[in-house]
Amino acid sequence: MCSWKVTGVWGFMMCGLVIACTDEETAAVADLSAQTGANDVIGSGSQFGGNQGSEGSGWTGAGIDDTAGSDDGPLSVDFHSDGKGTDAAVNNGDVPAGNPPDAGLGNLPEADGGRPRETVGRGDLPDAQCGYGKVLGLICSPNDQVFVNNAAVWIDTMDCEGNPIHLETVSDDGGFYTIENVPSGYQTVHYQSGTFKNEHKILVKSGKTTDVTGFGYKQCFKVTNDPETPPPVEPVVCETGAILGTLCEGEGFVIVGPATVYVNTIDCNGEFVYVEASSAPDGTYVLNGVPVGPVWVFIEMNNLAIQVQTTVQANQTTVLDPLFDPICFPKEPCGFGSAAGKVCSLQGDAWIPDAVITVTTVDCDGKSVVAKTQSQADGSFALGGLPVGTQWLVVEYDGGGYQVPVEILKGTTTDVGVVGAPSCNPGGGCGYGALAGYVCAPSGVKVGNATVYVTAIDCNGAPVTIVAQSDGQGNYFVDGVPSGTVTVQVVKGNFSVTYTVPVEKNKTTAVSDVVLSICFPKNQAKLAVVTGDWDHIQAILDKLGLTYDLYDGTNNVSQTVNLLTNLPKLMEYDVVFFNCGADHYGIFGTSTLISQNLQTYVQAGHSIYASDWAFIYAEAPWSYAIDFYGDDAGNSGPKVGAAKTITGVVQDPNLVNYLGKSEVTIKYDLGAWVVVQSVVAQVMTHIAGYITEAGGNVPLMMSHHPYGGEGRVLYTTFHNEPQATQDMTQILYYLVFEL
């Protein structure tokens, strides 16, 4: 059989193996394969999996299961499979032992109801929440033992929203490559140069750099004939060392801390090794247990990151001396922002044009800063280049002047409103005007059917509040508003925003022209999202510009269990969204506290939304409200909906107003979706449709207030991905602000 010998130039990386066999030996391997079938272990310790071929065709299996032998890097074997000299190449890649199977191979188990689990291509995510990291690697040709430049390197995977992405780069002159914005979890890196092609399974950590240059060094070893050197059958104990260093900042040697220092690499067995430490107040740090050989040390502090390469020796401490090899962070540049507002006379009877607005200050480096501008004909002004922090606006004009403090934030414009008088009423005398504005999500998407409150002082000196409603497209118009500066508050569900507007008598003020921020703040409501296999409501929240906390409902479900059984934690959220998924019934059954806590949560004025297979959260705590099809006491009874596209009839007048129509297209691209049979009178049916399985028109989107207060339970039989039509997307926008 094939014999073994380790050769190479890097003595500290004695773990990369490539089989080299003579023609007679490869023929012998093929003959043995044909005789032994699919499950015999060949001399390398690698298990060749396949099926017995038909008579005369030889062995036809093409898979390799490397669990029986050493994890020895790229393994290529050529053998004659048909007795006619035809070569069949088998390559197992470089999959570290213990890694989960690649989800892209379609080997995830099917969930109950016959619906296949979504194969996102990322494998099991070790992180609680999907994020993005960077991959640093090195390509070496094992045949030529040279590093390969200009090789194509790519990763095909799914991003954190479940969308397919293709990331690609090329190796530099030294064979190194870097791929940015790689989703966390197990990924497969492919690379090719001419006829040389291979791939690696890697582990990416969110916010970190994964150093897989060790794969490149391993590939520059070969195995040649040497009968005295048997193949390894067990992973060896890899040697390690330590790294000691000190940080500095800027041009000098000012010690800083704390910083995060880490190594994310592989050991001699191809196993991933992650070592992390925090620098001490004096800037020193120590990394222990680092695999020997070349490694990259990554250092992060205050959103800054640097990296340095060093070589670790066995049982020794590598010192990165700041006097000779300083690791210095560049000093963060000073931050700047701007301010905007309108200048009114101190008497409050006129807008002031040509007023001079000046800020005299110093930046974070102590450099003098003088910023100056003039107001426009309507009194408005904008002044940029202001250092972050509290600054004083000096306003000067003929007949008056004053100073106004303003807090400047980096990269943003601070709206100081009206300066000079609490309320500005140009022309003198009381009168009435109008406001025209719109309601919007943080991303700018219009929000319909919101309530608008305008608070002002009328011409008799009495406080007055005018209540109006935005239309289906989010626009509002309020007439009869007293002149002067008024306060506008917009409320929709758990979302609200407040701003002041100057109103002139006998004029209509366009709110967006005089107010910088009229949309709901992105973090004004606290939202939680429980993930699922076939839904991504978080993609809708992203499009609306809303922030949320993500809880795993598919892999590490203990996160969701801990949330739902911890009532104080649950009560921190205004709304909890449950994505459609296969594991919710099991999650719900872990504790009777979940049902009790959800009842308390909604009774306290909070809301929940569930879709399709997450129906247990809408049903169990309030079993009287929604009658699901069949034996809904179990998990599979209601899952009878067939894949189809139907026309839904909108029964919610506000939703009709928002959509501008009363019929919508609802698509179910997967079978086994949950069918609702009926609802009680207290439950509002927003959308209904004819469902053959139910024998009539049944609710497709419904909600109710179980305790008569603000708390709401909303359920849809459809969801966001991958089946959403344009109508469905608009409906989901609508329901977010109904909660």
Note the pLDDT tens digit of each residue in 400-452: 677 888 999 888 888 888 887 666 776 666 788 899 999 999 998 989 889 99
Is residue 258 reached through a cis peptide bond, with omega within 30 degrees of 0 on the bond before it?
yes
Low-confidence winner among 208-222, 280-294, 330-344, 388-402 (lowest mean pLDDT): 208-222
Q: Which residues pair with 147 in a beta bridge?
A: 140
Give the mean model confidence (pLDDT) for residues 553-573: 91
- Do 691 and 594 reside in the same domain of the chain? yes
Low-confidence winner among 374-383, 488-497, 628-637, 641-650 (lowest mean pLDDT): 628-637
The pLDDT assigned to 651 comes to 94
- Looking at 280, 313, 329, the residue that finishes a domain is 329
The pLDDT assigned to 584 comes to 84
| DSSP state, residue 109 | P
- Do 183 and 145 reside in the same domain of the chain? yes
CA neighbor of 327 nearest in space, from 263, 250, 242, 248: 248
Position 701 in a domain:
yes
- Looking at 91, 110, 141, the residue that finishes a domain is 91
Mean pLDDT score of the chain: 75
The pLDDT assigned to 16 comes to 28
- Do 258 and 294 reside in the same domain of the chain? yes
Low-confidence winner among 292-306, 462-476, 700-714 (lowest mean pLDDT): 292-306
- Residues with Cβ within 8 Å of residue 141, at least 6 apart in sequence: 147, 148, 193, 196, 219, 220
Q: How far is CA 444 from CA 425, 462, 490, in A?
A: 31, 35, 15
- Do 665 and 684 reside in the same domain of the chain? yes
Q: How far is CA 344 from CA 360, 376, 445, 485, 606, in A?
A: 22, 12, 33, 11, 43
Position 234 in a domain:
no
Q: How confident is the model at residue 683 (pLDDT cuts 50, 70, 90)?
A: very high
- Do 611 and 676 reside in the same domain of the chain? yes
Quote the distance between the C-alpha of residue 385 and its chain's center: 33
350 compared with 278, residue with greater pLDDT:
278
- Do 582 and 685 reside in the same domain of the chain? yes
The pLDDT assigned to 315 comes to 92
Position 98 in a domain:
no
Q: Give the N- to C-terminal CA distance of the chain in Å, as an integer.
A: 69
Question: Helix or strand or coil: residue 528?
Answer: strand
47 compared with 423, residue with greater pLDDT:
423
- Do 585 and 657 reside in the same domain of the chain? yes
Low-confidence winner among 89-93, 189-193, 302-306, 669-673 (lowest mean pLDDT): 89-93
Complete edge-to-edge strand list for the sheet that includes strand 380-387: 380-387, 336-343, 413-419
Q: How confident is the model at residue 114 (pLDDT cuts 50, 70, 90)?
A: very low
The pLDDT assigned to 303 comes to 59
The pLDDT assigned to 426 comes to 67
The pLDDT assigned to 78 comes to 29
Q: How confident is the model at residue 147 (pLDDT cuts 50, 70, 90)?
A: confident
Give the mean model confidence (pLDDT) for residues 124-132: 61
Position 207 in a domain:
yes
| Cβ proximity of 27 and 78 under 8 Å | no
Find the CATH number of the domain harbouring 185: 2.60.40.10
Residues 630 and 639: their CA atoms lie apart, in Å, by 9
Position 260 in a domain:
yes
Strands 684-691, 663-668: pairing kind: unpaired
455 pLDDT more than 80: yes
489 pLDDT more than 90: yes
Domain extent, residue 207, equals 120-221
Find the CATH number of the domain harbouring 594: 3.40.50.880
The number of domains in the chain is 6
- Do 658 and 560 reside in the same domain of the chain? yes
Low-confidence winner among 320-329, 395-404, 661-670 (lowest mean pLDDT): 320-329
The pLDDT assigned to 427 comes to 60
Low-confidence winner among 76-80, 378-382, 567-571, 628-632 (lowest mean pLDDT): 76-80
Q: How confident is the model at residue 14 (pLDDT cuts 50, 70, 90)?
A: very low
The pLDDT assigned to 120 comes to 36
- Looking at 282, 298, 329, the residue that finishes a domain is 329
Residues 114 and 106: their CA atoms lie apart, in Å, by 15
Give the mean model confidence (pLDDT) for residues 710-732: 83
- Do 470 and 604 reside in the same domain of the chain? no
Q: Which residues pair with 301 in a beta bridge?
A: 304
Q: How confident is the model at residue 703 (pLDDT cuts 50, 70, 90)?
A: very high
- Do 188 and 134 reside in the same domain of the chain? yes
Rg (alpha carbons) of the chain, rounded to whole number: 33
| Cβ proximity of 613 and 639 under 8 Å | yes
Question: Helix or strand or coil: residue 731?
Answer: helix
* Residue keyed to tokens 């007293």: 482
Q: How confident is the model at residue 705 (pLDDT cuts 50, 70, 90)?
A: very high
- Do 558 and 671 reside in the same domain of the chain? yes
Q: How confident is the model at residue 632 (pLDDT cuts 50, 70, 90)?
A: low
| Whole-model pTM over 0.85 | no
Q: How confident is the model at residue 88 (pLDDT cuts 50, 70, 90)?
A: very low
Position 582 in a domain:
yes
486 pLDDT more than 60: yes
Position 232 in a domain:
no
For residue 648, the one-letter residue type is G
Position 278 in a domain:
yes
739 compared with 88, residue with greater pLDDT:
739
* Residue keyed to tokens 């430490």: 277
- Do 342 and 321 reside in the same domain of the chain? no
8 pLDDT more than 60: no
Give the mean model confidence (pLDDT) for residues 103-132: 45
